[in-house]
Amino acid sequence: MAVRIYISRDAAAQALGADETTAALQLAAASKGTSITLTRVGSRGMVWLEPLVEVENASGQRIAYGPVTADDVPGLVKAGLFGAAPHSLRLGRVEDMPWFAKQERLTFARVGVIDPVSIDDYVAHGGYAGLRRALGMTSAEIVHEVLESGLRGRGGAAFPTGIKWRTVLEQDSSRKYVVCNADEGDSGTFSDRMLMEGDPLCLIEGMTIAGIAVGATKGYIYLRCEYPHAGHALREAIAAARARGYLGADVCGSGKAFELEVRMGAGAYICGEETALLESLEGKRAEVRYRPPLPAIKGLFGEPTIINNVISLGSVPIILARGAAYYREFGMGRSRGTLPIQLAGNLQRGGLVEKAFGVTLRELLYDFGGGSASGRPIRAVQVGGPLGAYLPESQFDTPLDYEAFTAIGALVGHGGIVAFDDTVDMARMARYAMEFCAVESCGKCTPCRIGSTRGVEVIDRILQGVEKQANLVQLESLCETMQHGSLCGLGGMTPFPVMSAVRHFPGDFSRDR
Amino acid sequence: MAATELDNDATLERILAEHAGMEGPLLPILHAVQETVGHISPAHVARIARALNLARAEVHGVVSFYHYFRQHDPGRHVVHVCRAEACQAMQGEQTEQHAKRELGVDYGGTSADGLFTLEAVYCLGNCAAAPSVMVDEKLYGRVTPERLTAILADWRSR
């Protein structure tokens, strides 16, 4: 019988040589005369162990080896890889590894396990149970279920998903849309990408449920063009779903229609802002819209539109399959359920950890992340992307909870955590935050468009030692203007990383250079 | 407006026909043009504007708004170097500097041999294996200056 082998097709695994490892394995098997069945799966999230190779042993268990480069393959095969034999790279079952066992994988349950574009694999692992249940419910019941689950927008704004859905449901319109915001531009975040590459059908099912719930028949996934791999996976998965009747004019024989299309962005961070994204989908410059009206009332092409992040929509299938009560049992306070957290930057064990809300930064950085990759002390972490605050060590015990983070002037955002060691220059990071805002500003409002450029200049003067105190006062006042005067979060939140750097790391601004 | 040669460009006409009836077709059309032709020229803009009943300024405004769209052909390969925070936390600036030195250009420039256009990118979603570089559609992680030299050599030899 053929030996079953699993290797990730995730972009991060490919970036570390998974394709080359795959080729080497096929070559080694052929020359040895061993018959293998190789499945490309998503990533288990242990990026430091990629390329990860899993081999099914005689008792049907998947035994992991990693990181396996193409150069390791001949030695591994000689040692008995195809029989899951011992080796220094042998890790055992992924499920038994503490890093993995300590997680609560709800949204990411199938990622790394199944063939991402196989409907049979998806259904065998609980897929489409949510849609089946939804098809037996009324629209109001589906929306109520999402509302009751406590799910809040995972893109960063944390607005209750059910309320968006209810608003769209209440609109009387023959044309409604479901739009997925897959413009994951925040540095340090990659959970959207991993879900789209590792379990795209989960997102497709979530969007289908959303469409059925509010009476929308057309959905768009707006994907950033920096994610070509995710685009391929999504298109393959959509075609597979359509071929099996999970998408199309008659979803699962329900008589209800839902169609889905992937649209590529063109390199504009601002498209992560939902109204800018809608402008872009309509074929315009991605300039932020004034609101009201809300997209739920007048969204894409002026019609009522559900617009949710990938992880929000990807959490819907399990909520419908297991019930709202099951999902809301996870978490703390008003942050219910789980969050796929991304450990990035200077960490020994970077990757994706899905945990219930309430886990502390310290647990994530040290228990999961293993401390810094460089071996030096972690000095600062940025949580929630380029608009998130920089936090010093004294705040590492903050639990991941929307309200707890707001209380310390920070944000959970999309759950990305970027760690920096003690070589980081926080004044330069503050300058970068302003520079990034200037590069990515859509230009519609003055505080963001002009303020960001002035911000770079003010910080440059501080770095050059020109009237440091006066310029620090100026910087604070500028940040205040940007925060309160900008139309959207880009200009409005760039002050978070800037001012948190000033507050928590004043020495980096005052020292002579 | 005077007809240009490109009005008769079969490729552009085919692309326009393929997108007829699509909702919000402008970005998909621009992507298709850039993918097949390599860039989006003023003549393309004029023809697309006419097909979609838009002003040329509106189409040009969209082309110039997005970082990804280009109005001139790039080198044979496009090298995207990530400048975002997670890469900076792993000495990505050294990789950036090295890329500029090795290719002899700044961001937006094309190496003298016409092989590589260097572009800055703000996050490739590979933040747990930083610094990241993407050459065309191939992504690379943990790209130290030495590894970048090897990667570029590999692409030169293709």
CB A455 within 8 A of CB A434: yes
My answer on whether B21 and B47 are in the same domain is yes
Range(s) of chain A covered by CATH 1.20.1440.230 = 426-510
CATH 3.10.20.600 residue spans of chain A: 331-421
Give per-residue burial for A222-255: e unless 16+ CB within 10 Å, then b: bbbbbbbbbbbbbbebbebbeeeebbeeebbeee
Residue B118, phi-psi category: left (phi > 0), alpha (psi -120 to 50), beta (remainder): beta
Indicate the number of domains in chain B: 2
List residues bridging with B81 in a β-sheet: B120, B133
Q: Is A69 on the interface with B (CB under 8 A)?
A: no
Secondary structure (3-state) at A343:
strand
- Cis preceding linkage at A293, omega within 30: yes
Q: A268 to chain B: which residues are within 8 Å by CB?
A: 65-67
A437 and chain B in contact, CB less than 8 A: no
pLDDT band of residue B4 (cuts 50, 70, 90) is very low
CATH number at residue B52: 1.10.10
Of B69, B125, B139, the CB nearest to A14: B139
The pLDDT > 70 percentage for chain A reads 100
Angle formed by the axes of helices A200-214 and A228-243, nearest 10°? 60
> Which amino acid type is present at position A241?
A
Beta-sheet strands, E only, within B2-104 = 77-82
Whether residue B26 lies within 8 A of chain A, CB to CB, comes out as: yes
Mean pLDDT of A202-224: 98
> Are B81 and B60 in a shared domain?
no
Q: Report yes or no on B70 lying in a domain.
A: no
pLDDT of residue A80: 97
Domain identity same for B83 and B141: yes
pLDDT higher at A402 or B9 = A402
Backbone angles phi, psi at A473, to 5 degrees: -65, -45
Q: Are strands A218-223 and A259-264 parallel, antiparallel or unpaired?
A: parallel
CB-based contact B106:B147 (threshold 8 Å): no
Q: Does a structural domain hold residue B10?
A: yes
Assigned fold of A119-328:
Rossmann fold (3.40.50)
- CATH (domain of B115): 3.40.30.10
Q: What is the CATH number of domain A3-96?
A: 3.40.30.10
Average pLDDT over residues A97-112: 98
What token pair was written down for B81?
């170097």
From B17, B40, B65, the end of a domain falls on: B65
Residue of A nearest to B126 (CA): A12
Q: What is the pLDDT of residues A240-261, one digit of tens each?
A: 999 999 999 999 999 999 999 9
Sign of CA dihedral A262, A263, A267, A268: negative
d(Cα B92, Cα B89) in Å, to the nearest integer? 7
Are residue B45 and residue B100 in the same domain, yes or no?
Answer: no
Helix (H) or strand (E) holding A130: helix A129-135
B141 with B87, same domain? yes
CA dist A112 and B65 (Å) reads 37
Statement to judge: residues B87 and B23 lie in one domain: no
Residues forming CATH 3.40.30.10 domain(s) in chain A = 3-96
* Token output for A330: 């996870």
Domain span at B19 = 5-65
Residues 447-486 of A with CB under 8 A from B: none
Q: What is the CATH number of domain A331-421?
A: 3.10.20.600
B82 and B16 within one domain: no
Among A266, A352, A439, the residue with its CB nearest the CB of B66 is A266
User: What's the distance, CA A489 to chain centroid?
Assistant: 18
Please name every residue paired with A418 in a beta bridge, in sequence order, or none if there are none: A344, A382
The verdict on B17 and B56 lying in the same domain is yes
Angstrom distance (rounded) from CA A222 to CA A239 = 17
pLDDT tens track for A433-463: 999 999 999 999 999 999 999 999 999 999 9
Whether the CB-CB separation of A194 and A184 falls below 8 Å is answered with: no
Determine the pLDDT at residue B8. 53
Nearest alpha-carbon partner for A4 in A108, A81, A86: A81
Predicted confidence at residue B84, as pLDDT, reads 97
If residue A22 lies in a helix (H) or strand (E), which one and from where to where?
Answer: helix A18-32
Query: Cβ of A47 and B128 within 8 Å?
Result: yes
Q: Which fold has domain A426-510?
A: de novo design (two linked rop proteins) (1.20.1440)
**Residue B16 forms part of a structural domain:** yes
**pTM reported for the whole predicted model:** 0.97
B142 contacts in chain A (CB < 8 Å): 16
Residues B11 and B48 in one domain: yes
For residue A385, count CB atoms less than 10 angstroms from its CB and return exposed for 0-12, middle for 13-18, buried for 19 or more: buried
Contact criterion met (CB below 8 Å) for A497 and A390: yes
Q: Which residues of B touch A267 (CB under 8 A)?
A: 66-69, 121
Mean pLDDT of A452-476: 98
DSSP B87-150: HHTTTHHHHHHHHHHHHT--TT-B-TTSSEEEEEES--S-GGG-S-EEETTEEE-S--HHHHHH
Nearest CA-CA distance, residue A124 and chain B, Å:
29
Backbone phi, psi, residue A277, to 5°: -60, -45
- Between CA B106 and CA A35 the distance in angstroms is 50
The stretch A191-211 carries a mean pLDDT of 98
Which of B59, B126, B132 is the mutation pick for testing A, counting most A CBs within 10 A? B126
Q: Chain B window 76-105: which residues touch A at a Cβ cutoff of 8 Å? A: 80, 84-90
Same domain, B130 and B93: yes
Asked if A481 contacts A447 with a C-beta cutoff of 8 angstroms, the reply is yes
Question: Is A440 within 8 Å of B89 when comparing Cβ atoms?
Answer: no
Q: Mean pLDDT, to the nearest integer, of A300-315? A: 98
Are B109 and B148 in a shared domain? yes
Q: What is the SS3 assignment for A236?
A: helix
Q: What is the ipTM of this complex?
A: 0.95
- Four-point Cα dihedral A455, A386, A228, A42, nearest 10: 170
Is position B29 within any domain?
yes
Q: What pLDDT score was predicted for residue B9?
A: 83
Same domain, B57 and B113: no
Cα–Cα distance measured from residue B119 to residue B141, given in angstroms and rounded to the nearest whole number = 17
pLDDT at B3 exceeding the cut of 70: no
Helix boundaries (H) for A381-467: 402-407, 426-440, 446-463
CA–CA distances in Å: residue A470 to residues A430, A459, A465: 17, 11, 11
Q: Each residue of B92-134: pLDDT tens digit?
A: 999 999 999 999 999 999 999 999 999 999 999 999 999 999 9
Could you tell me if residue B72 is inside a domain? Answer: no
